[in-house]
Amino acid sequence: MIDSRKRATGLAHMTDKHRSTTGYLGRVQALRFFAAFAVLVGHLQHEVLIRVMPGVPFRTFTAIDGGIGVDMFFVISGFIMYYISGDAFGQPGEWRRFASRRFLRIAPLYYVATLSMLAAAAMFAKHVDSDAIGVIPAIASFFFLPLPNAAGAMAPVLKLGWTLNYEAYFYAIFMLALVFPKRIGLVVLFGVLLGIVGLAQLVPGRLPMLDFWGQPIVLEFAAGVILAMVYRAGWRIPTHQALALIAGGLVLTITLRHFGLSAYAPRAVAQGIPAALIVCAVVLWQAATSTGFLARLLEFGGNASYALYLSHPFSIRAATIIWGALGGPQSPWLFIAFTTVAALATAALVHIGIEKPLDRVLRHLFGRNRRDRLELNRSLSET
């Protein structure tokens, strides 16, 4: 079914120019945009039902849970980490460089968003859910530590930051694995992920952090690592097989959700497996490169997907306030369309005006050498 081809020498260290001709990067970036967009639409529908127009008849799109975008992000993250660092296991100091790159990738913009949420809670208290606002949750948020807030939820100040807590956890394990030669490092990586999941199931409710890190959803990172190993080995699939995998992933998640079976299965099964199938199809798809306007637009959307993910709660809340102040019509989908445009525009502005300049400043302050800057640029454009 799948034909194997010999991997070109130095695959993990291709230049940006070389990678742009493979078509791989553009497709992954487009998928990252669709993943963030799915989360946006899911949150928008919830906002309409709960806050904006609770009494207005509204037929939501429920065939697919928008949260599957998070599962796609986790699989993609595992893939990218091994793709860019698969040859770095056991190299002196590589774990430090990896930790630095990862921190500079996810922390600065997340800190800006968290500080913005704290400011919004202080200035617009009646428009902000303040369950997670407090000294301990705030400190834990900046250290990516999962701790229960005042409402008992394992959520940081910026509630969607729970996904970043998982990302940081995976990065920490991957950093540990890089200390060892590849074979031992992979045993450490998979062993810790599986071991913590198993331990959490054996002693549930003992420690909040253990319960959080031991959720099967972390296995989606492992699925991404395995996919990267397959990709680096040179395996590719033709278009009809890629489309079949995508269709299979969509049909599986729709079926489980339609018959209510997703409520009885771990998220790693109900949404993780479909997400892994879709990411697998996109990554291994042996398709011609597209350089048209739509492809470039989607690739930009992928570059701005992190900004979209972090900024869209602010866009949604601002749109809700504006809609109410202007006396907007009681039309759910019109509100969703209006807010979607606003969220996408805001994300583009945040990416161009905050995320990219912030990255340039931090790289200058940290005085990275040319090799590290090239590697950081690569990881920033792909993750």
Q: Are 158 and 114 in contact (CB under 8 A)?
A: yes
Burial readout 95-114 (b: 16 or more C-beta within 10 A, e: otherwise):
bebbeebbebbbbbbbebbb
**Average pLDDT of the segment spanning 299-309:** 95
pTM for the whole structure: 0.88
Q: Please tell me the distance from the alpha carbon of residue 323 to that of residue 201, in angstroms, as a whole number.
A: 45
pLDDT at 303: 94
Q: Which residue has the tokens 């097989």?
A: 241
Q: State the Cα–Cα distance between residues 157 and 113, nearest whole angstrom.
A: 10
What does the pLDDT read at residue 24? 60
Task: State the residue for tokens 């992190």.
Answer: 306
Amino acid 130: pLDDT: 62
What totals of helices (H) and strands (E) does the chain contain, helices first? 17, 2
Helices (H), ranges, 21-134: 24-47, 68-85, 94-123
CA distance 74 to 225: 10
User: In angstroms, how far is the first alpha carbon of the chain from the final one?
Assistant: 29
- Among candidates 281, 275, 289, which has minimal Cα distance to 236? 281
Residue 126 pLDDT:
67
Percent of the chain predicted with pLDDT > 70: 86
Q: What is the mean pLDDT of residues 48-69?
A: 86
Pairing of strands 235-236, 3-4: antiparallel
> In this structure, are residues 194 and 173 in contact, taking their beta carbons and an 8 Å threshold?
no
Whether the pLDDT of residue 65 is over 80: the answer is yes
In the predicted model, what is the mean pLDDT of residues 229-245?
Answer: 95
pLDDT of residue 50: 83
Q: What percent of the chain has pLDDT over 90?
A: 63
In the prediction, which pLDDT does 143 show? 95
Task: Give the burial class of 326: count Cβ atoms within 10 A of its Cβ; 0-12 exposed, 13-18 middle, 19 or more buried.
Answer: exposed
Q: Is the pLDDT of residue 40 over 70?
A: yes
pLDDT for residue 128? 67
- Determine the average pLDDT of the residues in 197-211: 90
Is residue 300 helix, strand or coil? helix
Amino acid at 168: A
Between these two residues, 352 and 23, which has the higher pLDDT value? 352
Mean pLDDT of the chain: 86
Q: Write the CA distances from 333 to 291, 323, 351, integer angstroms.
A: 32, 13, 27
Three-state SS at 4 = strand
pLDDT at 376: 42
Mean pLDDT of the region 204-221? 93
pLDDT at 22: 42
Residue 6: per-residue pLDDT = 38
In terms of average pLDDT, the best of 48-52, 61-65, 97-101, 365-369 is 97-101
Least confident range of 6-10, 187-191, 307-311: 6-10
C-alpha angle 249-253-259 in degrees, rounded to nearest 5? 145
Between CA 242 and CA 245 the distance in angstroms is 5
